[in-house]
Structure 1
Amino acid sequence: LQINGKYKLADKIGGSSQGDIFCAWNILSGAEVTVKLWHSKLSRALECKYHVYKSLTGGPGILHLYWFGTDYGFHAMVTEHLGSSLQDLVSQSDHKFSIDVITGIGLQMITCLEFMHAHNFIHHDIKPSNILTRVDVNNMSSIMVYLIDFGHAHTYRDHKTHCHLHCQEHVLFVGTKPFASVNAHTSIELSCCNDIKSLAYTLNFLLNSSLPWEHSADLCKILQAKLDFPPLTYNIPTAFLLFLEHTQMLSFGAKPDYELL
């Protein structure tokens, strides 16, 4: 299969009930790319992702978007191709990431989220499996990270006035339980500060290769564990503890202090 006349599909590298993800090649340049194929009936989901990518492409930590359209009865999106996710690297590694590497990842992600929030979007699902990498495995300090999967992303403020949308209650849960913010568990509308809170959980996951509540299916127990986090038994470097404390103090509509973080 050849998408848009020049992207030749190779191995399937992922997928879901919505569609499939392939490694592919640009037959004109030889460049490796990633192609996402969505079933036509689910085109709205891919169009929403495309809108976010188009608005953010070229920004720090954002994949380059090469093409979006319809071919062979599928809606297709072509982006640059990257390596493993942070989740996969944690699963594959025999040792934990060093503090310096995690700090570098955190700084890159803060810059990425600041850019995304400045363009009026929140991600809604920050987690290790949604952060892809470009890295030399023999030199982990060179790691570059990129945020993906904007299926839950949406605007959080007016494009013209930059006024924050009103806080709403009784909203549906959005995100992934182990990394979702406390607000997500309590059915409160999410804002940009919740992305930062999910990033804090992600960094602590990288520090310890786990989170205290990740194997629990009980939402109430997960919520209580997050309210009590970090437990006294957790060994968290001071800088990461201060990061976590700052995120816990952020209220709805508050602008994270990206420079401080």
Structure 2
Amino acid sequence: MPPKSKAGGAKKARAPAKRKLAEEFPPGEVLTDNAKKTWKLGSPVGQGGFGLLYLANEDSSGSVGAGEPYVIKVEPSENGPLFSELKFYMRAAKPDLIGAWMKSRKMDYLGVPKYWGSGFHEKGGKRYRFMVMDRFGTDLQKKFEGNEKKFPRKLVLQLGLRLLDILEYIHDHEYVHADIKASNLLLSYTKPNQVYLVDYGLAYRYSPEGVPKEYKEDPKRCHDGTIEFTSIDAHKGVAPSRRGDLEIMGYCMIQWLCGRLPWEDKLQDPLYVRDSKLRCRDNIDEFLKSCFPSENIPEEMKKFMQEVKALGYTDKPDYAKLRGILQQGLKTIGATDDKKLDFDVSTNDAGPPSVKVRVTFSRTSKNVNGAKKTASPAKRPAKKEAQASSEPAVKKSRGRPKKNS
């Protein structure tokens, strides 16, 4: 939690609700899902603030090996994050739904994890919720940091094309993701050229039964998401939307190209981040100049952000047009979408170098949390940190399990 301001008479922040931790089950524990299918747990491969991630197989008669294709998330049934994810997976990620979508569009794969089952398990008088899903490899944040925070331009455009496929699918199934970032993009465990968008704990059903939610600012929801990438709507407390997903995606792509977003020097101040994004939206040219001060600005990113800016809250994005913009970017650098994810910056156009910059605006926001300036990324600000002013509360990040490997 960021340090509380000593000035301004700020009220004491309310502590987040405590979540119980899942006890570790021994290898060989058998779980039975709601369809009466049995799953056997292996070793834990990830641990978060609310639960554990285990290797698993669907043959309860055999042992669980190191190369199993499934993992199972387990958390105490009173906790909420996995329950929220389950809503999305059960409605939109069943294998037959994903398969039908891929077949209708003649796709080789779609980067949405498949839902294989879920249920409850009782042990020692305690009740646990679990969900079975695909196993994945490393996440792109590790790749990004291992590449000195730089991705090749070709790779960024290819990741953008894969994300558009994913977002079009989940948007068509009434959901938005709301937390797109490199640490939520995982490579396939067996096919390193496939990337999947995971962690649907913040997924929001923006259009239940085909009726889009209306724009409404809610002070209790301000700044929800991951602070450096979250949308302007989210900063204002508005429920996630399709345009918000694309805005977040745009920030990610720009960071992957240049290494750093202009507001990363004060991530502990959500009002500063919000105001910075507002000014950058109002002047996209200046925003991109601040990100790429010593190189030519990637024209495709300018056009992409302009398209996102033009979207209304309930508008359906033109995914084909957005794909065309990114594909034109590939042509500009003499590349094609060969479906291969090459992380080696020496093999293709890596885009502009990483440059640490800060955008100076005519009006700056007050650091309401009293935090020192830092270049270290903060996942999310503290939940409902009361402000001395009339500004809305700040939401805290939720505990998340480490990604499976």
With the length of structure 1 as denominator, give the TM-score of the two structures.
0.87
- Aligned equivalent of 1:245, options 278, 290, 306: 306
Per the TM alignment, residue 95 of structure 1 is displaced from its structure 2 partner at its CA by 6.5
| Higher CA-based Rg | 2
For residues 193 and 255 of structure 2, what CA distance do their matches in structure 1 show?
17
| Residue 291 (structure 2) pairs with residue 234 (structure 1) | yes
User: How far apart are the structure 2 equivalents of 1:186 and 1:95?
Assistant: 29
Aligned partners of 2:77 and 2:146: how far apart in 1?
A: 35
Query: Who is 1:150 aligned against?
Result: 200
Q: Which amino acid aligns with 1:203?
A: M
Change (3 A) 1:215 1:19: farther
1:51 corresponds to which of 87, 105, 118: 87
Among 247, 251, 272, the alignment partner of 1:221 is 272
| Higher percent of residues as strand | 1
2:319 aligned partner: 258
Counterpart check, 1:125 vs 2:175: no
Distance change in 2, residues 1:47/1:234 (3 Å) = closer
Give the number of aligned pairs.
253
Residues 195-238 of structure 1: CA deviation (Å, up to 9, x unaligned): 11111111112112322222411122112221233242322411
Deviation at 1:93, TM superposition (A): 2.5
When normalised by structure 2's length, the TM-score is 0.58
Q: Distance in 1 between matches of 2:181 and 2:54?
A: 22
Percent of aligned positions that are identical: 25
Displacement after TM superposition at 1:109 (Å)? 0.7
Tell me which residue corresponds to 2:48: 15
Give the drift of 1:135. Answer: 7.6
Q: Is the 8 A contact 2:262 2:290 kept in 1?
A: no
**What letter corresponds to residue 233 of structure 1 in structure 2?**
S
Work out whether 1:36 is the aligned partner of 2:85: no
Distance 2:231 2:197 in 1: 18
| Amino acid across the alignment from 1:144 | Q
Could you tell me whether the CA contact under 8 Å between 1:101 and 1:143 is conserved in 2? no
Q: Is 1:193–1:250's contact at 8 Å kept on the other side of the alignment?
A: yes
Residue 39 of structure 2 aligns with which residue?
6
RMSD, aligned CA: 2.3
State the AA in 2 paired with 1:212: P
AA in 2 matched with 1:49: E
Deviation of 1:136 (Å): 8.5
**More RCO (CA 8 Å, sep 6+):** 2
Unaligned runs of 5+ in 2: 1-25, 32-37, 99-109, 281-286, 323-405
Q: How many Å separate the matches in 2 of 1:248 and 1:153?
A: 22
Whole-angstrom CA distance in 1 between matches of 2:190 and 2:215: 43
One-letter amino acid matched to 2:232: V
Aligned match of 1:61 in 111, 117, 130?
111
- CA drift of 1:46 comes to 2.1
Indicate the residue corresponding to 1:78 in structure 2. 132
Query: Any conservation in 2 of the 1:157–1:165 contact (CA below 8 Å)?
Result: yes
Deviation, structure 1 residue 239: 0.9
- Kept in 2: contact 1:190–1:252 (CA 8 A): no
The one of 158, 165, 168 equivalent to 2:216 is: 168
